[in-house]
Amino acid sequence: MLHPRELRERTRYYSQYRDIRRMGQIVFDNHYARLPERFYSPQDPVPVREPGSIRLNLPLAEDLGIDTQWLASEAGTAMLAGNYLPEGAEPIATAYAGHQFGGFNPQLGDGRAVLLGEIRARNGRRFDLQLKGSGPTPYSRGGDGRSPLGPVLREYILCEAMHRLDVPTTRALAAVTSGERVMRESVLPGAVLARVASSHIRIGTFQYFAARKDTEALHLLTDHVIARHYPELEDSENRIAALLGAVVARQAQLIAKWQMLGFIHGVMNTDNVLISGETIDYGPCAFMDEFNPEQVYSSIDHGGRYAYRNQPGIAHWNLSCLANSLIPILHNDQEQAIALAQSALDSFPDLFLEANSLGAARKLGLQAIEAGDVPLVDDLWRLMAEQRLDFTLTFRRLADLADETNRTGTVAELFEFPDALQPWLDRWRERAAREPTSAVDRQSAMYAANPVFIPRNHLVEAAIAAATDNNDFAIFHQLADLLENPTSYAPELRHFASPPRPEEIVQQTFCGT
């Protein structure tokens, strides 16, 4: 229950925007809040002292049907900080469980985030609008529910870069300062991220109700997920088995996309796996510089559970947790339920290999990886690891070589293959020459599949340090702008495509909590 003084303060914050709120309303169409209250806790965001806009994602706002002029106004900034509730919002903190580094926690939930409501976008799709860093909730477990500025900037940069790299992901609508200080290892400026997702329903959401043996809730949740994310499954003979198979397929495709970009999530817990198939939680994640299959960046992943090499296997394990949660409602006969679950899980390796093979083909300028191409691909990964080659520039330089008559935009000044790769390059050229496409078309396709700009760790850290230490957001904006077009290179931008110098290498990334 709110202290009377806090209630008065919250009323003051909300009421000061009452006269101008009609400038531009967000049209909410909330469905999750119609589910029984054991799915969530009603929770208003806790107002901050002095909200200030850092960056607005105006194209995303337009797609969502939000008046961009209003969003950039004082009232819009107040809403993004949690100081003003727009009409139609029904703020909640959702409940879920999860396996964290293999250990099961039966109750987690939104400990520092509030779901304001669901928006129907211009294309008819439904999206959640969530404020992250919006204050304590019933699931905060003693935490303050706030976010330091650094993790907000990191997530904005990373998730928007992933979107431009064609990876399903949550999005950033805005980043705002709070005007407050947050105590972590030191005192840091606070901020709030306005996050957009197809939904925030996780494997851990199903685990939450399975752990409580609440089959009614499992049925309700399944019905909601199918209606929202997989309507094509409505008429399936066994809708629940079909849903499990569809989630398995989306996760296989998602992890393959991560692998093809050298992306390491860092905290692949089941509460960080969205049923929609989108990437979520950009705390200790990172893109590799030098290729290393065993690479780990997360400061809390002491055993390398979520290393780059392990991501497909961990995704499969996480999906087994979803399957186990669904067994009570998959079939009336337990043996048949287990068989259905196993059948869906058994499809993951082939689905992942298919998606991974297609991704590798695109990066190498091939239409498909044929049986005889497997040694060629495997040898490249081996040589990249042995020679400690930069992941991103290796593939980008290959794209340069697809049409060696084109000297425009080459990254040769940043990266050249060592002599140890010359025999492999000869094999690749010979294989690529058998493709039916022209060298010009092949290079164009490879440039599209092989970005030159990624959110390199040292650049992200530089942006965070400048903003946190000096209130200077120039690097943040420059990096965010650049990553909107990650495949188009010009020599004057070489700084943003270059690997880190030895003293710039980032060894660890950290969870935002």
Contact 396, 451 (CB under 8 A): yes
Catalytic residue among 44, 128, 144, 271: 271
Contact 94, 117 (CB under 8 A): no
Q: What CA–CA distance (Å, rounded) separates 24 from 69?
A: 8
**Dihedral pair phi/psi, residue 473, rounded to 5°:** -100, 10
SS3 of residue 91 by DSSP: coil
**Dihedral pair phi/psi, residue 169, rounded to 5°:** -160, 155
Handedness of CA 80, 82, 87, 92 (dihedral sign): positive
3-state secondary structure 381-410: HHHHHHHCCEHHHHHHHHHHHHCCCCCCCC
How far from 316 is each of 146, 254, 323, 361, CA to CA, in Å? 32, 12, 10, 23
Query: Catalytic: 481?
Result: no
Provide the 10 A C-beta neighbour count for residue 321: 21
Q: What CA–CA distance (Å, rounded) separates 321 from 204?
A: 9
179: CB partners within 8 A, 6+ apart: 48, 49, 50, 51, 52, 190
How far from 96 is each of 43, 119, 208, 274, 288, CA to CA, in Å? 15, 22, 5, 12, 31
Handedness of CA 222, 320, 208, 89 (dihedral sign): negative
Q: What CA–CA distance (Å, rounded) separates 306 from 428?
A: 31
Look up residue 504 and give its DSSP letter: G
Question: Which residues are marked as active site?
Answer: 271
